Amino acid sequence: MAKTHQMDMCHGSLFRKIIFFTLPLLATNLLQLLFNAADMVVLGQFANHQAMAAVGATVSINSFFCSLFMGLGIGSNVLVAKFFGAGDKEQLRKSVHTSMFAAIICGLVLMVVGLFAARPLLLLMKTPDDILDKSCLYLYICFSAIPFMVFYNVGCGVLRALGDTMRPMYFLLIAGGLNVTLNVILVAGFKMEMAGVAVATAVSHILSALMILYVMCRSQEDSQIRFKELKLDGPIFREMLALGIPASVQSCCFSIANMTIQSSINSFGSCAVAGCTAASGLEGFVWICSYSFHTTSLSFAAQNLGGKHFKRIIQSTLICIGCAMTASLTLGMIFLLFARPMLAMYNPDPEVIQWGLVRVRLLFCSYFICGIMDVISGLLRGLGHSLIATIGSLIGAFFFRIAWVYLVFPHYRTMENLMLSFPISWCLVITIHSIFCYFILRDLYRQRTIRHGRLFEALQHSVYRSGTPGFKP
C-alpha cells in the first residue's frame, strides 16, 4: 500500500500543511464534542435534571483519569514524530510497538483503580446526595471501557504523529454515530437515564479500539503493528515516560484544580451543576478549536526538531497561534450571541439556563487566551521539554486556581468570581511558557551556529593541509 496517509512536515508550504493537518483533527474533536453533547441533550430531553447533574458531577473525575493516560499519548506522539522527521525507521518501529503495548497495560491498571476510586472521589467532591448513586453507576460503566479508550487514543496519537489525521476522524464518525443511536434507544426508549448514556459510551469506545487495531495491523505504513514485536523497548519507554509523565502530572493537577472548582459549583445546588454542565458542553466547542492547534504545534515542532529545521518550528508556531485565536474568537462570539437557545437544547429549565449563562458570558469572549496558551504548551512538548511545560502550568494554573478557591472565593461567593479564575490563570501560564520558549529556542539556534562554525573550521583546516594555493585559514 502506498504511504498516502503520512505527511512530511519538514518541507513544503507550512500554512497549507498546517491547515490540511488541523482540519481533520478539528473535525474529529468537534465530532467528539457533538457526540458528548448528544449525551447531555438526550438526558435533558428524556430524563430529569438530576440525571443530567449526575453525569455533570463526574466530568472532573473522568477528566482526571483521562489525564493519567494522556501523557502516554503525548510521549508517543513526540517520539514517533521525531523519529519520522529524522528518517530513523528502526527507532520509529520500536516506538510504535512500545506505545501500543504500554497502552494495553496502562488501560488495565486504570480500569481497576477507577472502579475502586469512583465512589470515594465523588464523596470527596461533596456530590449532592440526590445524585450520588446515579453518578457512581455512570462511572462504574464508563470505567469498564477504559482499556479500549486508552488503546484508541494512543493509536490515534501514533497516526497523527505521522501526519495522518483523516483515519481517526473516520473512526470517530462511525463510533460516535453508534453512540448517538444507542443513546436514543437506551435513554428515550428503555428509560435507562444516565446508565443508558454510559453503556452507549462504553460500546463506542470498544468499537473505536477495534477499528484502530484492525487498521494498524493491516497497514503497510510506518504505523503497522506486528503482534510478535509488541513489547517495551527500555530506552524508548524511558524517554516516553520522561515526556509523558510531566504531561500527565500537569493534566491531573488541572483536573484536581477543576475538581476543586466543581466542588464549589456543587455548593450552589443541583441546578447550578446542571447549568454549568450545559455551559461546559458549549464551551468545549470553543476550547477544541484552540486545542486542535496544540496538537498541530506539537507534531510540527517534533518532526522539524528531528529534521533540524529550526526556522520552521518558529514559523509553524506563529501560524498556529494566529489560527487558534481566530477560530476561538469567531466561535466564541457566535455562541455568546445564541447562548440562551443553545443552553435550552441541553435543559429547558429556566433556572438551569440562568446558571449556564453566567459561565458562558465570562468565558466565551476570553477563550482566545486559552488558544495562545495551548499552542505554546504544544511547542514546548514537541521540543521535548515536557517537564518545563508542566512546571509553568502548575505555577500559573494549578496553584493559582487552588489559591483562588480557598483564598478569594470564600470572600465573594458568586459564580462570576469562581469563573474569573480561568482567564487569569491562562494569562499567567502564557507568560511563564513564553519566557521558557525564548531561552530554549535561543539555545537551539546557538547550538546550530556552533556546529556550523566547527564544520567550517574543519573544512578550512582540511583545505589548508591539502596545499590549496592562496588559501589561509
Query: Span 322-337, mean pLDDT?
Result: 89
The residue type of 115 is L
Q: Taking a C-beta distance cutoff of 8 angstroms, is the pair 42, 183 a contact?
A: yes
pLDDT in tens, 26-55: 888 778 777 777 777 787 777 777 787 888
Residue 326 has pLDDT above 80, yes or no: yes
Q: Which of 60, 47, 71 is nearest to 125 (CA)?
A: 60
Q: Tell whether the model's pLDDT for residue 282 goes beyond 60.
A: yes
Per residue in 63-114, pLDDT (tens digit) is 778 877 777 888 888 888 888 887 788 888 888 899 999 999 999 999 999 9
462 falls in which pLDDT band (50, 70, 90)? very low
CB 39 within 8 A of CB 51: no
Local confidence band at 468 (pLDDT 50, 70, 90 cut-offs):
very low
Helices (H), 87-145: 89-124, 129-143
Q: Which residue has the higher pLDDT, 450 or 221?
A: 221
- Per-residue pLDDT averaged across 260-277, rounded? 82
The pLDDT of residue 449: 57
Give the mean pLDDT of 215-231. Answer: 82
Given a contact cutoff of 8 angstroms between Cβ atoms, the answer to whether 79 and 236 are in contact is yes
Let me know if 120 is exposed, middle or buried by CB neighbors in 10 A (0-12, 13-18, 19+): exposed
Report pTM.
0.74
Mean pLDDT of all residues in 413-428: 89
- Could you tell me if 122 and 135 are in contact, meaning their C-beta atoms sit under 8 angstroms apart? yes
Q: Does the pLDDT value for residue 60 go beyond 90?
A: no
Residue 318, pLDDT > 90, answer yes
| Digit-coded pLDDT (tens) for 141-179 | 999 999 999 999 899 888 888 888 888 888 988 998 898
With CA atoms as reference, report the closest residue to 155 among 171, 143, 142, 175. 171
pLDDT digits (tens, 9 = 90+) for 340-368: 888 888 778 888 888 888 888 888 888 88
- Read off the DSSP letter of residue 471: -
Phi and psi based region of residue 308 (left: phi greater than 0; alpha: psi -120 to 50; beta: remaining): left
Residues 427-448: tens digit of each pLDDT: 999 999 999 988 888 887 777 6
> Mean pLDDT across the stretch 215-236?
83
Whole-Å CA distances, 277 to 36, 390, 426: 11, 27, 21
pLDDT class of 206 with cuts at 50, 70, 90: very high
Instruction: Report the mean per-residue pLDDT for the chain.
Output: 83
> What pLDDT shows up at residue 212?
92
Mean pLDDT within 221-234: 82
Question: Is there a contact between 369 and 427 (Cβ–Cβ < 8 Å)?
Answer: yes
The residue type at 167: R
Q: Answer whether residue 465 shows pLDDT above 90.
A: no
CA 96 to chain centre: 19
User: Would you list the DSSP string of 402-434?
Assistant: HHIIIIIGGGS--HHHHHTHHHHHHHHHHHHHH
- Predicted confidence at residue 448, as pLDDT, reads 64
Of the chain, the percentage scoring pLDDT greater than 90 comes to 20
SS3 198: helix
Instruction: Decide if 392 contacts 432 (C-beta within 8 A).
Output: yes
Residue 2, pLDDT above cutoff 50: no
Higher per-residue confidence, 374 vs 86: 374
Cβ–Cβ < 8 Å for 165, 296: no
